[in-house]
Structure 1
Amino acid sequence: MNPLNRNTAQTPAYPVKILQFGEGNFLRAFADWMIDMLNEKADYQSGVAVVQPIPQGMVAKLKEQDGLFHHLLRGLSDGQIVDESRLISCIQQLINPFDDPEQYFAQALNEDLTIVISNTTEAGIKFSEGDSPEPGKLAATFPGKLTQLLKARFDHFKGAPESGLIFIPCELIDRNGDKLKEAILNYTEIWNYPEAFVNWLDRYNYFGNTLVDRIVPGFPKDDIKEIQQNLGYEDNLVVSSEAFHLWVIEGPAEIEVAFPASKVGLNVKFVDDMEPYRTRKVRILNGAHTAMVPIGLLAGIETVKEAVEDEVIGQYIREILFEEIMPNINMPESELREFAENIIERFRNPFIRHELKSISLNSISKFKVRVLPSLLDYIKREQQLPKGLTIALASLIKLYLSADFDPSDDPKNLQFFEEVKSRSASNEGLINAILGNTAFWDMDLNTVTGLNKEVLSIFNALETESTKNLLAGQKL
């Protein structure tokens, strides 16, 4: 079997137009996959220079394969199994700025450079007053390093408008582009950079706010030998993902011109306001995950796939999605229905073992953000409680109080459950205390008309009745 490199695999060469901070599974199976598709189908002619954002990274491993790797598309699409491979060849340069800062700063002089993509984790976009702008030395933070690069670029091209860059961050924080720009501007202030540079930065550099959505299990270690045999290469950087993908980008029109991904059928949406898409994802995808966790675990189910394919629980998931969550979201019903159907199909992916126990991490805060808004909005709209989401809330409380479940959550939350169990003489006292904990819900849920009574009733029923029997007996 051949090793994978540019001698054993004939691949095209492209000028570097995209600087990518991050070499992990997600960007390689998401952004690099899209760039490779654009190169093939739209003659995009764009190479990527990957920058390792932290001292310990994968650039050395990628160099061993000359930046090449295979992407596996594995999942369901329109009810059919998809299992496809693609050799990704868009990465042209690999930079470890901690070992070779000169190679990093050389990108500031690259006249082809147009776009900066990043995924430096949620903690990556931060500002630190102690960061240093010493010439030739790297700033500690990701925005600090970008500020240095931009200043060098401004100096080299003498502030030419066309030398500005487009930033498309993928970090999972709200308004990621705005926060990245804010951090950079903070550095220009404390580093006393000239007003001309700040004006150039503000006028000719464009920052998008983004929402990304694709499940990326990563390296398929369980069947890698068979995969390598089928590929014909000893590829040690194979990355797998589901078939579904979505990239929502809010920003000026210049971003779509520079990154015309939607023109080749990729699910990239350029929008004026991304908030409806964020709400849709949080409430439908994340909300369904969070609601099914206590229901499934109490029923002895281990995975998302098992839950959605179970006759009773699968029907429950569909009913809360289409009848209790979707109607509260201000988007066209057809778009919401299509997205929800895609979610159900994604949940059934035979290539992904998505364990409910792992999703249960920090379920209290997740319920507050992902499910509670839908529950409260339903009450406002219908003037009654949503049965399915109320069952999810009661089941969550039951799960956290169960002797058979070891929750992974904030220690303060776990301590509260232990204390309330020890001091409450009745289920009524338990429910009053838990619903009344404003640190959990940002409000006293006992003030929601009828909620305490219904949660207590379901909680009591779960002591003598199985979860499936309870669901089967409820008409949502």
Structure 2
Amino acid sequence: MSTELRVPSAAASAAALPQLDRALRAEPKAPVRIVHLGLGAFHRSHQAWYTQQAGDAAEWGIAAFTGRRPDAAAALAEQGGLYTLVERADTGDSFTVVGSIVEAVDGADVQRLAELVAAPGTAVVTLTITEAAYGLGADGRLDTAAPEVATDLALLGSGGGTPATPLGRLVLALGARRDAGSGPIAVVCCDNLSNNGAVARQAVAGFAGALDAGLAAWIDVNVSFVSTSVDRITPRTTDEDIAEVQGACGYRDNLPVVAEPFSSWVLSGGFPAGRPRWEDAGALVVADIKPYENRKLWLLNGAHSLLAYAGQLRGHRTVAEALSDPLCRQAVESFWDEAEANLPAGELQIPAYRAALLARFSNARIAHNLSQIAMDGSTKLRVRAVPVLQAERAAGRSGAAAALMISAWMDCSAALTEFQDPLADAVDAANLLTDTNRTRALLALVDPILAANDSVVHLIRSLQGSFDKPPSTSAEALDPSRKDLQ
């Protein structure tokens, strides 16, 4: 169970504060039964938090591996895996010590990863490796020619070296489980991708198939790929957050995580070796996850991407700042109208969900930086904007609000000095072109089929520069019902 912390007396001095470690908690570590790839703030605010809230949490410890850098693992290991979750609401903060991560490991330690995944008691592997890390091309298959993937395949094929990609590391570990005869296991994708379990399956199967046909066949039979929809706004931790935890809780935590009070987790798929009772913390287990995925990907993540690009073009820094701009707010509402028109009514409770999102986005105490959300746009737009634009066009409507999101991404790609994207070189090359040629080349990086549609290209071209206007510009300029956008 979670440990709610009380504010210490004013007599507590910073000089006398202890380091946060297992000595502050009476309960022992749970055995490792979950292995996580992608140790970061979101995992610690979401899956680790849900695991701690499960009624059988004492049976489910997490071993979490970092991605490219070992820093988070080293810092968390110094604290015995403990950290403070700060739930930040408009009315104030609450503090909880989370202890479900019982081992924090440098992701480059593939030997330890293989040992843990191969252990008979391990039942679940969860992933937060970001959308781009799955490496699927426009055809939905793993791009085995991508430099990092090709390098890992060569390393593993030669029987030496340490794979650098999450896929390479995971496939190596699954191979160890096969060799150990430890039986079936579930892989749970927690990244913001539609039907993300199928995406993970395609990526893992593609990598394994290129490496070892026998291993690929074993994975096909023994590994369940679970789709999920995850939701909890988790901004980057600041020095001020660390100081606040120290002042309020009476100990030094070098790795707290800040999140909004709201959280949601919807899962669909099989767990052949078992799982924690995540539903004790409010998780939903459903037969059909697609409507929930689309609600979240389009309404929350789509709005986030739109605000990230439009907001930065307007000079804003955070989601709350961008939403307070009438031009950005109108763009979000128009996109939501298009998305809602393509979602099933009823159990999804879309009007209430939209109202809740406005309240969450407006929480000025959650400094969700637009630059963080804007990363990897060419990948994110494929699931946040493209499906809505396609559905609107298929229904005989313009899809102008979804097209506006794509056009804002294009504008940002040229306007921002720090623009991070997995296709950065191709983006830079496209930006050397002019007019319609530039628009078509950039759109082809997001969706080649749309890029071949002259009407869509001209629509997006007509919307470029929409946010390069002074803040006094009327929001009516972005009204998708305008005839010139049809």
TM-score band w.r.t. shorter chain: 0.7 to 0.9
| Paired position in structure 2 for 1:186 | 209
| Paired position in structure 2 for 1:123 | 133
Once the two structures are superposed, residues 124-160 of structure 1 have per-residue CA deviations (whole angstroms, 9 ceiling, x without a partner) of 785743244899986665455545545555555xx47
Summarize the alignment of residues 209-224 of structure 1 with structure 2, pairs less than 5 Å apart. 209-224=227-242
Aligned-partner SS, 1:247: strand
| Paired position in structure 2 for 1:58 | 72
| Paired position in structure 1 for 2:225 | 207
| Paired position in structure 2 for 1:166 | 186
Query: What CA distance in whole angstroms lies between the structure 2 residues aligned with 1:168 and 1:276?
Result: 18
| Paired position in structure 2 for 1:114 | 123
CA RMSD of aligned residues (A): 4.4
Once the two structures are superposed, residues 392-448 of structure 1 have per-residue CA deviations (whole angstroms, 9 ceiling, x without a partner) of 67777777788xx6583745545555542xxxxxxxxx4x55666563663468843
Query: What CA distance in whole angstroms lies between the structure 2 residues aligned with 1:137 and 1:362?
Result: 28
Q: Does 1:270 align with 2:275?
A: no
Gaps of 5+ in 1: 421-429
Query: What CA distance in whole angstroms lies between the structure 1 residues aligned with 2:475 and 2:26?
Result: 57
Letter of the structure 2 residue corresponding to residue 16 of structure 1 = V
Once the two structures are superposed, residues 225-252 of structure 1 have per-residue CA deviations (whole angstroms, 9 ceiling, x without a partner) of 2321211111111111223333333322
Q: CA shift at 1:70, angstroms?
A: 1.0
The match for 1:239 among 249, 257, 282 is 257
Query: What CA distance in whole angstroms lies between the structure 1 residues aligned with 2:306 and 2:369?
Result: 14
| Paired position in structure 2 for 1:424 | none
Query: What CA distance in whole angstroms lies between the structure 2 residues aligned with 1:133 and 1:436?
Result: 39
The aligned length equals 440
The match for 2:277 among 253, 260, 270 is 260
Higher relative CO (Cα under 8 Å, sequence separation at least 6) belongs to 2
Query: What CA distance in whole angstroms lies between the structure 2 residues aligned with 1:88 and 1:33?
Result: 7
Query: What CA distance in whole angstroms lies between the structure 2 residues aligned with 1:474 and 1:12?
Result: 57
Query: What CA distance in whole angstroms lies between the structure 1 residues aligned with 2:109 and 2:409?
Result: 48
| Paired position in structure 2 for 1:426 | none
When normalised by structure 1's length, the TM-score is 0.73
When normalised by structure 2's length, the TM-score is 0.72
Query: What CA distance in whole angstroms lies between the structure 1 residues aligned with 2:433 and 2:290?
Result: 39
Query: What CA distance in whole angstroms lies between the structure 1 residues aligned with 2:414 and 2:225?
Result: 46
Query: What CA distance in whole angstroms lies between the structure 2 residues aligned with 1:8 and 1:246?
Result: 29
How high is the sequence identity, in percent, across the aligned residues?
A: 22
Aligned-partner SS, 2:474: helix
Aligned-partner SS, 2:392: helix
Alpha-carbon distance change, 240 to 299 in structure 1, aligned in 2, over 3 angstroms: closer
| Paired position in structure 2 for 1:318 | 333
Query: What CA distance in whole angstroms lies between the structure 2 residues aligned with 1:391 and 1:154?
Result: 48
Query: What CA distance in whole angstroms lies between the structure 2 residues aligned with 1:14 and 1:172?
Result: 29
8 Å Cα contact 2:245-2:253 kept in structure 1: no
8 Å Cα contact 2:128-2:191 kept in structure 1: yes
Alpha-carbon distance change, 459 to 214 in structure 1, aligned in 2, over 3 angstroms: closer
Q: CA shift at 1:87, angstroms?
A: 0.6
Summarize the alignment of residues 389-428 of structure 1 with structure 2, pairs less than 5 Å apart. 408=419, 410=424, 412-413=426-427, 416-417=430-431, 419-420=433-434
| Paired position in structure 1 for 2:444 | 439
Gaps of 5+ in 2: 1-16, 136-148, 482-486
Aligned-partner SS, 2:364: coil
Q: CA shift at 1:88, angstroms?
A: 1.0
Alpha-carbon distance change, 272 to 417 in structure 1, aligned in 2, over 3 angstroms: same
- Judge which range, 283-292 or 310-319, deviates more: 310-319
Summarize the alignment of residues 444-463 of structure 1 with structure 2, pairs less than 5 Å apart. 447-448=454-455, 456=462
8 Å Cα contact 2:171-2:204 kept in structure 1: no
